[in-house]
Amino acid sequence: MHIPDGLMDPSVALVGWGEFLAAIAIALFFAGKAVREKDLPRIAVLCAGIFVAQMLNFPVGGGTTGHLIGGMLFALMAGPVIAMVGMTVILLIQALMFGDGGITAFGLNAVNMAVIAPLSGWGVYTLIMKVLQHGTPEPKASGLSKAEGVAVMAGAWASVFLAASACAAELAVSYAVSGGTYGIAGAVSIPAMLGYHAIIGIGEAVITVGVVAYVSMAAPGAFVKHEAPKPAEGWRKVASSKVVQATAAVLVVFALCLPLYFMYSSEGADGLEKTMEDSGVTEGEAVLTSPFSYGEDYFAALFAGMLGFVVVALSAIGLLTVIRSRKVRTEQA
Amino acid sequence: MIVCHVRGHRVRAEELDEHARATWLSRLDARAKLVGVIVFVVVSALLRDLSLVLASLALSISFAAMSRIPATHLARAYLGALPFMVIASVSVFLFGGLENGLAMLARTSSCVLALLVLASGTDTFDLFAGLRRLRVPALVTTLLMLTYKYILMMSEELSRMTVARKARGFAGGRSLFDARGMKVVSYTAGMVFVRSADRADRAFDALTARGFDREMMPWRRSRIAAPELSFLAWFVAVSAILMMLQLGVAI
């Protein structure tokens, strides 16, 4: 799943870098607080181990092989925040030392495998654990309970599948944005990546649960296994903030409504276009050709929509900050 | 002898840094090399015109030739990165025509080759220390350094486990539906983790005893001097020319 240089449209790669830098800055902030000097070798062992595990191929069928991503494994053994930093380190070594995954595409690779994979895996795991254990986790001395096993497998599968969906969507958007110079058409990339990785996910799930079962049995204290995310307090604050809730709500509604858009968008022009048509006015040559389009399929449109939302929200916040600082300055003066 | 599998090839530990001694490239300051090559790679990834892409590929190849790193070494590493590039190029070829497909292959090759020359022609510690001096956070660079050291250690542990497994008559793990085999394989992986954790602690203690610290500042620091500046100037100039030609062609 390592995207090489020159495969993605530059604008998509740039967005990927932006997303990656924002995510890693947050992760580094929290990880810097949580990591002690003596944890470093253990974390590095996890990085090295997952690097080695990524080189082991297992058969998928039809003559192709897949390899582990390991984001879920990392998140289980060291917590999601450290997993983000560690997966970034693995990807850096692959990109710099082995030419596996490009520099311009590094942001996208890191978003897929170092941000989406561990976070989604961890999220699915905690969710299932909560549902299955009704909020009263029973700490077991060693080994995995059945519920934990199910949760780990589901998390591992989801981490691979979601990372692959993100990768496929990026390829599709690149293709749509650049008009065929970059990327892979959504009609090919999305079914191929998803089908292939649904199977690879099974391998990832089986191996992850096996490794975790062994480690929790043989050396329960060897890694920080069930570290509750240290900044739980801060996270709750963020999650309970009105702005974040509103953002999540808008994005979820948008994602759910998008299929309707594709069902009805083909017929009929919108009000303005209809009016222009009626009155015989035609659209002139555009002064500025936008580098983005709304995309031709669900994922491309979803990506474009989210991108637009984030850009608008950020510029609004920036504008508000500027206005506020002006106000403060004039009040001071 | 430490043997490790790097991208499916068996590489001895000494070999990884073998080419990073004694060439003009290895003596340059790592910061200049990193910045120069990355500028070139970024610009190469942006090129669309086939002739310009080919020109950047030619530049990459001549950079590889001038670096005096053995061609077989580079070729092996390049072959490891090839499969995904070929899949992407073929798919572009099917949808966007022959020229786009060729441009895609040449563009990715050019970027990969330049990066491989940088990695093979630089001592690993210098490379990561260079990143640190370019203000990459210390947590990241220290983990990079330790991880790189431990990869060799763990591969050694893994191959020992594999031998032990074979000696006990294990031959499964060929199929995803062989539940027993998969269990053995994943237990092996778990065992490698647990055993390496202890060794890692000792190795880290030994490193700190010899003065390794989180900041990773080398004792003998190289400086940016005339050779570094000319290296940087050459790469920036070439990249700028390619970029301007690309913009000129596109208009």
State the SS3 of chain A: CCCCCCCCCHHHHHHHHHHHHHHHHHHHHHHHHHCCHHHHHHHHHHHHHHHHHHHCEEEEECCEEEECCCHHHHHHHHCHHHHHHHHHHHHHHHHHHHCCCCCCCHHHHHHHHHHHHHHHHHHHHHHHHHHHHCCCCCCCCCCCCHHHHHHHHHHHHHHHHHHHHHHHHHHHHHHHHHCCCCCCCHHHHHHHHHHHHHHHHHHHHHHHHHHHHHHHHHCCCCCCCCCCCCCHHHHHHHHHCHHHHHHHHHHHHHHHHHHHHHHHCCCCCCHHHHHHHHCCCCCCCCCCCCCCCCCCCHHHHHHHHHHHHHHHHHHHHHHHHHHHHHHHHHHHC
Alpha-carbon torsion (B24, B27, B28, B31), positive or negative:
positive
Q: What integer pLDDT is reported at residue B176 of this predicted model?
A: 60
**pLDDT the model gives residue A300:** 66
Closest partner residue to B190 (CB to CB) among A184, A203, A211 is A211
Q: Does B7 score more than 50 pLDDT? A: no
Q: How far is CA B125 from the centre of its chain?
A: 13
* Partner A contacted by B239 (CB < 8 A): no
Would you call A243 an interface residue with chain B, using a CB distance cutoff of 8 Å? no
**Cα distance between residue A270 and residue A40, in whole Å:** 58
Pairwise pLDDT comparison (B207 vs A333), residue with the higher score: B207
Domains detected in chain A: 10-224+231-332 (1.10.1760.20)
pLDDT of residue B3: 39
Predicted confidence band at B1 (pLDDT cuts at 50, 70, 90)?
very low
Distance (Å, rounded) from C-alpha B26 to C-alpha B7? 23
Burial A212-246 (b: 16+ CB within 10 A, else e): bbbbbebbeebbbeebebbbeeeeeeeeeeeeeee
Per the listing, tokens 């509103």 go with: A246
Residue type, B219: W
Interface of B with A in 22-81 (CB under 8 A): 38, 41-42, 44-48, 77-78, 80-81
3-class secondary structure, B212: coil
Each residue's pLDDT tens digit, A245-292: 666 776 666 666 665 555 544 444 455 555 555 665 555 544 444 444
Give the per-residue pLDDT at B35: 93
Q: Say what the pLDDT of residue A229 is.
A: 46
pLDDT of residue B62: 94
Task: Name the average pLDDT for chain A.
Answer: 75
Residue with tokens 């085999």: B181
Nearest CA in chain A to B203: A41
- The reported pLDDT for the residue numbered B57 is 93
State the Cα–Cα distance between residues B13 and A30, nearest whole angstrom: 35
Per-residue confidence (pLDDT) for residue A227, from 0 to 100: 46
User: In this predicted model, which residue has the larger pLDDT, A304 or B78?
Assistant: B78
| Per-residue confidence (pLDDT) for residue B201, from 0 to 100 | 84
pLDDT band for A196, please (50, 70, 90 cuts). confident
Res B250: pLDDT: 52
pLDDT surpassing 70 at residue B91: yes
Residue A327's pLDDT is: 61
How large is the average pLDDT for residues B30-39?
A: 92
Confirm or reject contact between B102 and chain A (CB < 8 A): no
Residue B5's pLDDT band (cuts 50, 70, 90): very low
Q: Kindly state the DSSP code that residue B147 receives in the 8-state scheme.
A: H
Q: Residue B159's pLDDT band (boundaries 50, 70, 90)?
A: confident
Tell me which of B172 and A204 has the higher pLDDT. A204
A13-69: pLDDT as tens digits: 888 898 899 999 888 888 888 787 777 888 888 888 888 777 766 666 555 566 788
Phi, psi of A132 (to 5 degrees): -75, -30
Cβ neighbors of B65 (< 8 A, separation 6 or more) are: none
Largest Cα–Cα separation, chain B: 68
Average pLDDT value for residue range A208-214: 86
CB contact under 8 A, B88 and A202: no
> What is the C-alpha to C-alpha distance for residues A87 and A89, in angstroms, rounded to an integer?
5
Judge if ipTM > 0.90. no
Contact with chain A for residue B3, Cβ under 8 A: no
CA-to-CA distance for A215 and A81, rounded, in angstroms?
A: 20
Q: Do A184 and B153 touch (CB under 8 A)?
A: no
Does B227 have pLDDT greater than 80? yes
Question: Quick one: tokens of A41?
Answer: 């070798």
Task: Tokens for A3, please give them.
Answer: 């995207």
| Cα atoms found within 13 Å of the Cα of residue A97, Cβ hemisphere only | 24
Provide the pLDDT for residue A156. Answer: 93
Inform me whether the C-beta atom of residue A294 falls under 8 Å from chain B C-beta atoms.
Answer: no
Q: Is the pLDDT of residue A326 over 50?
A: yes
Least confident of A166-170, A239-243, B117-121, B166-170: A239-243
- Is pLDDT at B243 greater than 60 in this prediction? yes
- The answer, for A21 touching chain B at a CB cutoff of 8 Å, is no
pLDDT of B2 reads: 37
Nearest to B204 among A40, A48, A207 (CB): A40
Q: Are A47 and B127 in contact (CB < 8 Å)?
A: no
Which pLDDT belongs to residue B200?
84
- A176-193: average pLDDT: 79
